Structure 1
Amino acid sequence: MILVTGATGFVGSALVRKLATGPVPVRACIRRSKAVMPEGVQVMHVGSLSADTDWREALSAVAVVVHTAARVHVMDDNAVDPLAAFRSINVEGTLSLARQAAAAGVKRFVFLSSIKVNGEATTPGNPFQADDIPAPLDPYGVSKMEAERGLWEIADQTGMEVVIIRPPLVYGPGVKANFDAMMKWLSRGIPLPLGAIHNARSLVAIDNLIALIEACVDHPAAANQIFLVSDGEDLSTTQLLQRMGWALGRPARLVNVPAILLRMGATALGKSSIAQRLCGSLQVDISRTQEILAWSPPVSVDEGLRRVAEGYRREASV
């Protein structure tokens, strides 16, 4: 049996839907007792993720845990102590689950981490690698790094296999936050000063991430490995807007403003982090993932964008 935590989240819900079509029984752990799951999926309400969560019943007869539950990264965190808040859930909650999983005889623990463990930006031609020295810069990234380190210790102590996946920005039908805002801008035909951005950023379509998670559930070579994942094609911010516009059927209205001016303006407004995401590069090298698992992203960038555009139009029509 496969146990999925965070089964109502963006990644967790997509994973449960896909796993439910396979031959292995799936148990979905949720916080909200009224969540609807696919037919045949066992649903278990476990409450919030913390160091005190009792997972014993949920872990019964489970061979693999896929841990997607987390306190997620947000642009404007209003917690008094963000690092403490992230550690409470992403570190202490994760490691408590892992210890209980090992004690219950779970064979493999698949952990959805973040590329933020590697850092926030790359230089041209130097993408992040799985074996880079971690260099997280924000509390969320630090918490994911600390969780990874704790999982390796548990693996060493217990023999439970650990697999770590570090995705960059994940997009797909139902995506929210900045990606959703971008689609709204494009759909409304709002002119954007982003027509001259020559960066390169890796993204991953939800279907590609789910395909990799599936491979990591049972592939023998995945044991005790770190995998980076992306769509296999990096885009500049300008290219992303153009191709997202094509997918939406609303050509992007882009104004050619030099990136240096955008950075200066954003810094003056106290929004330098936004400028970094729009103008900076963040690339990941997935060649190691492909070689070890004999895996390639099944969905192209354009197909991934078409699917997210289709989902956006469907939601907008409701």
Structure 2
Amino acid sequence: MNFNNKSLLITGIGEFVGLRAAEKAIAKGMKVSGLQSSADKAKKAQNMGAKVMIGNITNPAITESACQGIDIVLHTDEIAKEGGSIEEFREVNVGGTLNIAKAAKSHGVKTFIYISSALVYGFNYPDRVTEDGPLSGENNPYCQTKIEAEKALLELNDPSNFGVIIIRPGDVYGPGSIPWIVRPLLLMRQKLFAYANDGQGVINHLYIDNLIDAIFLALEKETYGEIFNITDGQETSWKEYFTYLAETAGLPAPFSLPKDELKLFLKLRYQGQKLFRKQADILPEVVDFMTRPYAYSIDKAQKILNYQPTINLQEGMHLTQEWLKKTDLKKMMP
């Protein structure tokens, strides 16, 4: 696929992944437009030269309008948090995803690429788990609705008319990442951050630019109907990652707590915030996300897409450090 002059619609264009994808796509000569629910978040993409429509993917009139004259849809918009009401998640992550996909199909969009998540495997999966699974919703609304959205999308896949590609990223970090950079550092500054069980297990980190490279490789090769795990391909323990992150920001190394103690502390903290009507900054379920045991396999992406991550953890943290020097992290939080 030749990208020059192709029209690309990015949902969630003002968010972490959408914004970097827009920047890279514009550099490739693509005509980039976007859909964003918040006018404030749309500004950065607009300043890059993208046309942005303000609206929600759950609104059929908005999605119909956004998909007119588009060749490719990159769907990044989602509710991404550790817990909450399944109905709220399902409305956006499943209903909204189907809404934008059906609008795209009806308007003759040729390619629909969906940013899912490796969390479709849940929290306890086999070492080097491949795209064949097993999948597990873990009674968690994020994991469950990502599985449901993938299944519904693959039913729409029609390679000659409407090709669907699914990317399952690992833990995406880099300048602007809320869960893996901004929030941990803000908690570390308050001496409130701990990892569980001595930081055992594996964070499947993925530098943002490596993810965007994989997206364009999948588009270039038109791998319709396929699903790809994407990570940096490094086996880094949770302890190593968070210690490195603290060093990058010039902070003391975080400490460890047993998993059950950490969950209890976060539960009590969450209940206190709720009592005083403060917005919760972290949910107890985060501990399940931060104690996953193994690496995901990226063999398929390496073989089919010729995907080779070009930015390792050391370089990714250096690039993040440069960004941290000029960023007020408090302003990054929703």
Please report the TM-score for the alignment, with normalisation by the length of structure 2. Answer: 0.81
| Match for residue 289 of structure 1 among 301, 312, 329 | 301
- Contact 2:22–2:32, Cα closer than 8 Å, also in 1: yes
1:65 maps to 73
2:117 maps to 114
| Match for residue 166 of structure 2 among 164, 167, 175 | 164
Q: Does 1:21 align with 2:33?
A: no
Between the aligned residues of both structures, percent identity stands at: 24
SS of 1:223 mapped into structure 2? coil
Gaps of 5+ in 1: none
Inter-partner Cα distance in structure 2 for 1:158 and 1:291? 23
SS of 2:51 mapped into structure 1? strand
Please list the CA deviations of residues 18-62 of structure 1 after superposition, one character each: whole Å capped at 9, or x if unmatched: 111112211122223453225673413141121534333322221
Alignment of 1:131-170 (within 5 A): 131-137=132-138, 138-156=140-158, 159-170=161-172
Q: Cα distance, 1:185 vs. partner?
A: 5.4
Q: Cα distance, 1:285 vs. partner?
A: 0.7
Letter in 2 for 1:52: P
| Stretch of structure 1 that moved more, 102-111 or 136-145 | 136-145
Aligned-pair Cα RMSD in Å:
2.8
1:198 maps to 200
SS of 1:88 mapped into structure 2? helix
- Contact 2:246–2:254, Cα closer than 8 Å, also in 1: no
Please list the CA deviations of residues 90-114 of structure 1 after superposition, one character each: whole Å capped at 9, or x if unmatched: 1111112111211111111000111
Q: Cα distance, 1:269 vs. partner?
A: 4.4
Q: Does 1:75 align with 2:82?
A: yes
Inter-partner Cα distance in structure 2 for 1:9 and 1:193? 26
- Contact 1:190–1:253, Cα closer than 8 Å, also in 2: no
| Match for residue 8 of structure 1 among 11, 14, 19 | 14
Alignment of 1:1-318 (within 5 A): 1-33=7-39, 35-36=42-43, 37=45, 41-50=49-58, 52-72=60-80, 74-75=81-82, 77=84, 82-122=85-125, 126-137=127-138, 138-156=140-158, 159-177=161-179, 179-184=181-186, 196-220=198-222, 222-250=223-251, 252-253=252-253, 262-266=258-262, 268-269=264-265, 273-316=285-328
- Contact 1:20–1:38, Cα closer than 8 Å, also in 2: no
Count of matched residue positions in the alignment of Structure 1 and Structure 2: 305
SS of 1:28 mapped into structure 2? strand
Inter-partner Cα distance in structure 2 for 1:264 and 1:306? 33
Q: Cα distance, 1:244 vs. partner?
A: 2.2
Q: Cα distance, 1:165 vs. partner?
A: 0.7
Gaps of 5+ in 2: 1-6, 268-283
Q: Cα distance, 1:120 vs. partner?
A: 1.8
Inter-partner Cα distance in structure 2 for 1:32 and 1:270? 29
Inter-partner Cα distance in structure 2 for 1:119 and 1:249? 33
- Contact 1:163–1:226, Cα closer than 8 Å, also in 2: yes
Inter-partner Cα distance in structure 2 for 1:232 and 1:112? 18
Q: Cα distance, 1:200 vs. partner?
A: 1.8
Inter-partner Cα distance in structure 2 for 1:148 and 1:53? 23
